[in-house]
């Protein structure tokens, strides 16, 4: 169970690599914070924790778990919120099913996830599980807009120690493919509501009217969009691109976000699986359906279901031999791009490919050029223009490159990331209408069976807060500032109608530019290539995509970003970078007891959280602690104390020892607070004197398999034993 009272600072309990690291780092944070009378507690927003909280009636009294996500959702609407939020799993169906199975094996009597619910009871269970899929956490906690940037220490280190970049040449065959028509971008309509309204979404067909959703409420000033993707246009596009890829001799790769876009993107992913294996589905579709094959779950699930059907397996082998080679997630293990919908996530996969000079790994274990298939044109131009820029200009030089900061509109489930409850796969041909409570038809689309229709919105207060946050950031830096908005996109045109009057009223219109994403991409790359800096002011999805793209090019990783959410009611949410939850790191720990997760993002967030606490509560000891965190972070970078990737070399636990030591030394050396200096001088000495013993104890733990008692739901005692193996360090920290 997580803490029941509300501590001064909440440190979230999450999943995979960052949660493993927390078992080592959090005791250090609690020990140091206690010196300033600051309580640090946890709230469980992990996938396993959320599953347990959703099914109290299936559990014993001892097993029941509070709904910590709902509690945090209320806390972030208060001025006292101070939350350090680590990356959590945005679960795909295969991940959700695996987590349920693990919990069941641990004695939790949870219901199975119903793939095809038939009874009302099964439908109710499925509906509950569906609330846990995809981006279930972030929209609840993000009651403010995003300020993401590379911390000064991190940027300086990257310039002084430039990472390796792949070579780009003009001859590269790598390209981005997007639908020529029929996508979300081309079908989008948008309107700003002049007054508060409630809407219903209906499907009118030859056989009557079906209500898809009702009671969708919007305050006055909300920008409400609607759009759809044509299934027929998508299928034709995918078939065409598979053939073109084969002719070009490149890798076929699909880049989606089936985690955050948990309704639409798994369906698009399923279309790609079906297109790639089209001859197999044509010949054996009925039998595969009998076996429970759902292409939306990926080829991994499909292969598991048909493995005993020799004729189907032979047809798959023949089809794959005739198809272009596929971009691989893990060529050693035969894990393809289409294996699991959550394996290839566009904001990580595309920057990695661009950083590598346009190369992806093929099934032969070698790098090759790739056709990067991104069906929708809303954001595909960003990656297309990046690739064109590097083909023309060669790779970016991290030693001299400037930086791209980001101010992102995301509060109150803004834009597509809040569209899940209003996204539908159309059951039969007809007209989807969005009808307001006064009878006004706000939006209408003629659709075919299988089309994907969705509505998204952005509220007035978050939009205005976003623009003002951008004004503050530009004033603080003097950097070139660009709103990434396309006047030819329906939604963006409505936002521009908000942006321009605010800039003019504040007298700063001359400090800002407004460009479509393609033009803004080129302008930003030109700016940083010259060693200058810029601020990208974007919507929610581009906030997510760009705060991976530019950091991966500039810093080699997005996990070290400073990510501050200025909550609209005055609180603070401090996110620990944009690096995902790193399942491969967990696999390495389980096999070799080596954790290569880098907690630098956590260090940056902690420093900001303490400084914020000092300002909010007038606690000057917190300010001293925060400044010392910054010094310790600089020490980690300057002395190369970040984790190594290889077993037998220093890992995440070693970096935490050095962080604690540098933090204690900075506190002992400062003169702003004599009590803190006196308290931490002996701690610093003990950590320095114990160096050889601590390093030896940490090294001795590596090299053999580690048992944490569970992948999704670890055993606390086993996890502590794995992540705190130094008795000497534990004795000093407590």
The full 3-state SS of 494-515, as one line of letters, equals: HHHHHHHHHHHHCCCHHHEEEE
Is 4's pLDDT higher than 60? no
Find all residues with CB under 8 Å of 24, minimum gap 6, and list them.
652, 653, 656, 723, 724
Does the predicted model carry a pTM greater than 0.95? no
Q: At 3, is the pLDDT very low, low, confident or very high (cuts 50, 70, 90)?
A: very low
| Nearest-angstrom CA–CA distance, 434 and 214 | 10
DSSP lists the bridge partners of residue 85 as: 575
Find all residues with CB under 8 Å of 222, minimum gap 6, and list them.
192, 193, 457, 458, 459, 460
**Predicted pLDDT at 153:** 82
| 402 close to 533: Cβ distance less than 8 angstroms | yes
Q: Which domain holds residue 729?
A: 9-143+569-733
642-664: b (≥16 Cβ within 10 Å) or e: bbeeebeebbbbbbbbbbbbbbb
Pick the range with the lowest mean pLDDT from 557-566, 577-586, 662-671.
577-586
Is residue 449 a part of any domain in this protein?
no
| Nearest-angstrom CA–CA distance, 730 and 734 | 5
Q: What are the tokens at 466?
A: 């976003």
Q: pLDDT tens digit string along 122-164? A: 999 999 999 998 778 888 898 899 999 998 888 988 999 999 9
**Predicted pLDDT at 2:** 43
| Total domains in the fold of the chain | 1
For 582: left if phi > 0, alpha if psi spans -120 to 50, otherwise beta; the answer is left
**Predicted pLDDT at 520:** 98
Is residue 717 a part of any domain in this protein?
yes
**Predicted pLDDT at 24:** 98
**Predicted pLDDT at 373:** 98
- What angle do the packed helices 490-505 and 460-477 form, to 10 degrees? 60
Q: At 5, is the pLDDT very low, low, confident or very high (cuts 50, 70, 90)?
A: low
Residue with tokens 């002011």: 537
| Nearest-angstrom CA–CA distance, 673 and 513 | 45
The DSSP bridge pattern shows strands 335-336 and 480-484 to be: unpaired
Q: Which of 405, 432, 415 is nearest to 524 (CA)?
A: 405
| 82 close to 34: Cβ distance less than 8 angstroms | no
Q: Which of 573, 719, 654 is nearest to 15 (CA)?
A: 719
Measured distance between the N- and C-terminal CA atoms of the chain, rounded to whole angstroms: 21
Q: Which of 358, 344, 368 is nearest to 388 (CA)?
A: 358
For 685: left if phi > 0, alpha if psi spans -120 to 50, otherwise beta; the answer is alpha
- The arithmetic mean of pLDDT across residues 605-621, rounded, is 95
Is residue 242 a part of any domain in this protein?
no
- The arithmetic mean of pLDDT across residues 540-564, rounded, is 90
- Mean pLDDT of all residues in the chain? 95
Helix runs in 307-375, H state only: 310-322, 346-355
8-state DSSP, 277: T
Q: Which of 577, 521, 530 is nearest to 87 (CA)?
A: 577
Q: What share of the chain is helix, strand, coil (3-state, %, to 5)?
A: 50, 20, 35
Sign of the Cα torsion 588, 341, 558, 7 reads negative
Q: What are the tokens at 152?
A: 């000064």
The DSSP bridge pattern shows strands 82-85 and 223-229 to be: unpaired
| Nearest-angstrom CA–CA distance, 103 and 312 | 33
Strands (E), 426-533: 430-436, 441-447, 452-458, 480-484, 512-515
- The arithmetic mean of pLDDT across residues 223-242, rounded, is 98
| 375 close to 237: Cβ distance less than 8 angstroms | yes
**Predicted pLDDT at 578:** 62
**Predicted pLDDT at 579:** 63
Is 619's pLDDT higher than 70? yes
Q: pLDDT tens digit string along 672-725? A: 999 999 999 999 999 999 999 999 999 999 999 999 999 999 999 999 999 999
- The arithmetic mean of pLDDT across residues 591-606, rounded, is 94
- Give how far the C-alpha of residue 387 lies from the chain's centroid of Cα atoms, to the nearest Å: 22
Q: At 1, is the pLDDT very low, low, confident or very high (cuts 50, 70, 90)?
A: very low
- The arithmetic mean of pLDDT across residues 354-364, rounded, is 95
359 in helix, strand or coil? Answer: strand
Q: pLDDT tens digit string along 38-55? A: 999 999 999 999 999 999
Q: At 522, is the pLDDT very low, low, confident or very high (cuts 50, 70, 90)?
A: very high
φ, ψ (nearest 5 deg) of residue 204 = -95, 125
- The arithmetic mean of pLDDT across residues 535-556, rounded, is 95
Is 580's pLDDT higher than 80? no
Find all residues with CB under 8 Å of 91, minimum gap 6, and list them.
47, 99, 132, 133, 134, 136, 259, 342
Provide the 10 A C-beta neighbour count for residue 267. Answer: 21
Q: What are the tokens at 228?
A: 């759809």
Q: pLDDT tens digit string along 283-314? A: 999 999 999 999 999 999 999 999 999 999 99
Q: What are the tokens at 705?
A: 């398999």
Three-state DSSP string of 672-717: CCHHHHHHHHHHHHHHHHCHHHHHHHHHHHCCCCCCCCCCCCCCHH
- The arithmetic mean of pLDDT across residues 391-401, rounded, is 97
Q: What are the tokens at 592?
A: 């070799």
Percent of the chain with pLDDT over 90: 89
Q: What are the tokens at 385?
A: 């223009």
Is residue 214 a part of any domain in this protein?
no
């Amino acid at each position: 169970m997580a803490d029941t009272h509300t501590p001064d600072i909440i440190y979230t309990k999450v999943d995979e690599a960052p949660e493993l690291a927390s078992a080592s780092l959090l005791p250090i944070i609690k020990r140091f914070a206690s010196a300033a009378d600051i309580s640090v507690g946890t709230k469980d927003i992990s996938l396993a924790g959320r599953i347990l909280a959703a099914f109290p009636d299936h559990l014993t009294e001892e097993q029941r778990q509070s709904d910590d996500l709902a509690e945090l959702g209320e806390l972030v609407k208060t001025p006292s919120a101070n939350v350090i939020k680590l990356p959590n799993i945005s679960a795909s169906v295969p991940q959700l099913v695996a987590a349920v199975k693990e919990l069941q094996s641990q004695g939790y009597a949870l219901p199975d996830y119903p793939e095809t619910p038939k009874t009302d009871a099964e439908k109710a269970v499925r509906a509950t599980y569906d609330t846990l899929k995809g981006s279930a956490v972030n929209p609840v906690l993000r009651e403010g807009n995003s300020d993401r940037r590379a911390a000064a220490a991190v940027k300086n280190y990257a310039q002084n120690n430039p990472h390796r970049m792949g070579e780009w040449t003009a001859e590269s065959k790598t390209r981005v493919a997007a639908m020529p028509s029929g996508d979300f971008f081309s079908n989008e309509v948008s309107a700003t509501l002049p007054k508060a309204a409630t809407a219903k979404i209906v499907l009118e067909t030859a056989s009557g009217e079906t209500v898809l959703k009702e009671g969708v409420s919007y305050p006055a000033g909300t920008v409400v969009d609607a759009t759809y993707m044509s299934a027929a246009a998508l299928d034709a596009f995918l078939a065409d691109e598979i053939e073109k890829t084969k002719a070009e001799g490149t890798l076929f790769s699909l880049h989606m976000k089936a985690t955050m876009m948990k309704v639409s993107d798994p369906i698009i992913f399923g279309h790609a699986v079906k297109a790639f294996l089209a001859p197999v589905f044509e010949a054996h579709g009925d039998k595969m359906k009998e076996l429970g094959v759902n292409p939306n779950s990926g080829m991994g699930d499909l292969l598991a279901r048909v493995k005993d059907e020799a004729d189907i397996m032979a047809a798959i082998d023949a089809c794959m031999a005739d198809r272009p080679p596929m971009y691989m997630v893990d060529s050693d293990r035969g894990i393809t791009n289409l294996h699991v919908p959550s394996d290839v996530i566009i904001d990580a996969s595309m920057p990695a490919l661009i950083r590598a000079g346009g190369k992806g790994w093929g099934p032969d274990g070698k790098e090759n050029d790739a056709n990067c298939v991104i069906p929708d044109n809303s954001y595909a131009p960003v990656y297309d223009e990046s690739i064109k820029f590097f083909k023309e200009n060669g790779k970016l030089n991290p030693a001299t490159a400037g930086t791209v900061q980001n101010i992102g509109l995301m509060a109150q489930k803004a834009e597509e990331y809040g569209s899940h409850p209003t996204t539908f796969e159309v059951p039969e041909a007809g007209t989807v209408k969005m009808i307001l409570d006064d009878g006004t038809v706000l939006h209408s689309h003629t659709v075919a069976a299988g089309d994907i229709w969705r509505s998204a919105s952005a509220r007035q207060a978050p939009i205005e807060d976003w623009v003002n946050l951008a004004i503050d950031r530009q004033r603080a830096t003097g950097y070139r500032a660009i709103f990434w908005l396309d006047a030819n996109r329906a939604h963006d045109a409505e936002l521009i109608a908000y942006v321009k009057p605010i800039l003019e009223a504040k007298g700063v219109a001359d400090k800002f530019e407004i460009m479509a994403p393609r033009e803004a991409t080129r302008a930003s790359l030109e700016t940083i290539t010259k060693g200058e800096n810029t601020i990208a002011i974007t919507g929610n999805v581009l906030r997510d995509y760009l705060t991976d793209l530019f950091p991966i090019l500039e810093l080699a990783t997005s996990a070290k970003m400073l990510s501050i959410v200025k909550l609209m009611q005055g609180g603070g949410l401090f996110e620990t970078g944009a690096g995902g939850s790193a399942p491969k790191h967990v696999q390495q720990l389980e096999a070799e007891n080596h954790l290569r997760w880098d907690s630098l993002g956590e260090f940056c967030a902690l420093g900001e959280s303490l400084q914020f606490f000092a300002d909010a509560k007038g606690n000057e000891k917190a300010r001293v602690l925060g400044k010392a965190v910054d010094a310790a972070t600089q020490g980690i970078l300057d002395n190369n104390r970040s984790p190594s990737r290889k077993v037998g070399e220093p890992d995440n636990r070693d970096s935490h020892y050095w962080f604690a030591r540098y933090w204690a030394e900075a506190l002992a050396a400062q003169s702003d607070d004599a009590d803190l200096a006196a308290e931490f001088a002996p701690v610093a000495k003990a950590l320095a004197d114990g160096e050889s013993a601590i390093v030896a104890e940490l090294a001795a733990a590596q090299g053999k398999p580690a048992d944490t008692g569970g992948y999704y739901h670890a055993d606390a005692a086993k996890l502590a034993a794995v992540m705190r193996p130094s008795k000497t360090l534990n004795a000093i920290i407590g």
